[in-house]
Amino acid sequence: MNLTILWEGLETRPQPHGAGLWQQSALDGLHCAVAAGLSFPGAQRVLILRLKAAQARVLVRRGMTPTISVSQLPADPAFPGQMSIELASPERRHQELFALIGNDLAGQLTDDPPDAGRVILARLDLWREFLRRREDGDSERWVRGLFGELWYLCEHVLHHRSAEAGLGCWMGPTGAVHDFALGAYAVDLKTGTVDSETVHISSLQQLTPPPGSGLLIGHLRLRRDGQGHNLQEKVAALRLKLAPEVWPLLDSRLLAAGYIEGDTEMRDDLRLAVHDFRLYQVASGFPVLTPTTVPLGIEQCSYTVNLASCRSFQVSAGYPWAPVTATATHHEY
């Protein structure tokens, strides 16, 4: 059952005068439980999870974010070896997110699997990353970045890979060094505005080719356009291209990237269209800093590359699937 409905039902009851905790289960199995809770005084919405005690202690130790607390609840003798925990936040926007998190967990745990605790920890790792990305700020840069990765996935990767294999190539949301792993090449995708010529390189590792592979930098320049698409529409268009059986993999990637359906804080006013797309091969002579090229003692740095000086490294926008051609610029309107 939807947790929002459960909370609304709890909130219709007369409130107690003292401290307490009401709860209503969306999922109540032998190995796990997911429940909506109201904490008093204050009738604060909380999310309650039951799982193996050892895994619950791991979750309490990891926590979620500075504004979402994770605490242990008294043991229930009906479930020896298990522990219930409570996710709470004084911020209403996080309390609204608890419904999305709880519904997601309940959907993953419908069959009450024996390894439910492992599933809960893995899904909450994704949600933790989602919350971290959301709170980083600079929402327009984040929207442009995810829009660009989805564009490259739709317009290039999925033209040459099956849906499941194509989604598996999309590594950016997983925290990998490079955004796409295509086998013979990895691709780092950079998005910019119409006039941008520079790209930010965040680490010494980012332009280090993976072992046994080459490395490409894609530079996708996007313009604001009232006739363009917002991020939600881009996700919906991608979903239509995929069979329903691979939607869970798509949703996991999107969640790790900081995107969820039904996010009330997601801006929908930023409409974007592709101005052009250029692809560069990181080869000998390309301006790059790597762990093996910087002086001893420099452990980490970020820097900016001006792609206007890299024309000789530009390859066909369809590379690595299309043969290398002379300098070419790919325009889409």
Q: How many Å is the Cα radius of gyration of the chain?
A: 23
pLDDT greater at residue 212 or residue 325: 212
pLDDT for 194 beyond 90:
yes
pLDDT at residue 326, as a whole number: 41
Q: May I ask the CATH class of domain 3-134?
A: alpha beta
β-partners of residue 306 are 198
pLDDT at residue 289, as a whole number: 95
Cβ atoms within 10 Å, residue 60? 15
- The CATH 3.30.200 domain(s) of the chain lie at 3-134
pLDDT for 249 beyond 50:
yes
User: What confidence category does residue 256 fall into, taking pLDDT thresholds of 50, 70 and 90?
Assistant: confident
Note the Cα 178 to chain centre separation in Å. Answer: 15
User: What confidence category does residue 190 fall into, taking pLDDT thresholds of 50, 70 and 90?
Assistant: very high
pLDDT for 329 beyond 50:
no
Neighbour-count burial of 248, counting CB atoms closer than 10 A to its CB (0-12 exposed, 13-18 middle, 19+ buried): exposed
Alpha helices, DSSP H only, in the chain? 3-11, 53-62, 92-108, 116-134, 139-155, 163-169, 231-241, 247-257
Q: Give the pLDDT confidence of 108-158 residue by residue, as tens digits.
A: 899 899 999 999 998 898 888 778 766 765 578 888 999 999 999 999 999
**Of 220, 192, 234, 224, residue with least CA distance to 331:** 220
User: What confidence category does residue 188 fall into, taking pLDDT thresholds of 50, 70 and 90?
Assistant: very high
Which residue is it, tokens 């409905």?
5
**Residues 76-102: what's their mean pLDDT?**
90
Give DSSP secondary structure letters for 9-34.
Answer: HHHTSPPPSS-EEEEEEEEE-SS-EE
Q: Is the CB of residue 220 less than 8 Å from the CB of residue 151? A: yes
pLDDT at residue 322, as a whole number: 61
Q: Does residue 159 sit in helix, strand or coil? A: helix
pLDDT at residue 153, as a whole number: 96
**Residues 40-52: what's their mean pLDDT?**
94
Q: Is the CB of residue 287 less than 8 Å from the CB of residue 309? A: yes
Which helix (H) or strand (E) segment holds residue 67: the answer is none
**Residues 176-195: what's their mean pLDDT?**
94
pLDDT for 330 beyond 60:
no
pLDDT at residue 45, as a whole number: 94
pLDDT greater at residue 266 or residue 138: 266
User: What confidence category does residue 325 fall into, taking pLDDT thresholds of 50, 70 and 90?
Assistant: very low
Q: Is the CB of residue 263 less than 8 Å from the CB of residue 196? A: no
> Is the bond into 41 cis (omega within 30 degrees of 0)?
yes
Q: Is the CB of residue 314 less than 8 Å from the CB of residue 326? A: no
pLDDT for 170 beyond 90:
yes
To the nearest whole percent, how much of the chain has pLDDT over 90? 69
Computed over every residue of the chain, the mean pLDDT equals: 89
**Residues 215-236: what's their mean pLDDT?**
95
Which helix (H) or strand (E) segment holds residue 114: the answer is none
How far is residue 21's CA from residue 76's CA, in Å, rounded to a whole number?
14
Give DSSP secondary structure letters for 208-232.
Answer: SPPTT-EEEEEEEEEEEEEEEE-HH
**Of 79, 320, 322, residue with least CA distance to 214:** 320
pLDDT greater at residue 173 or residue 229: 229
Q: Does residue 73 sit in helix, strand or coil? A: coil
pLDDT at residue 150, as a whole number: 97
pLDDT at residue 332, as a whole number: 42
Torsion over CA: 248, 182, 228, 175 (sign): positive
**Residues 15-31: what's their mean pLDDT?**
92
How far is residue 56's CA from residue 182's CA, in Å, rounded to a whole number?
37
Max CA separation in the chain (angstroms)? 76
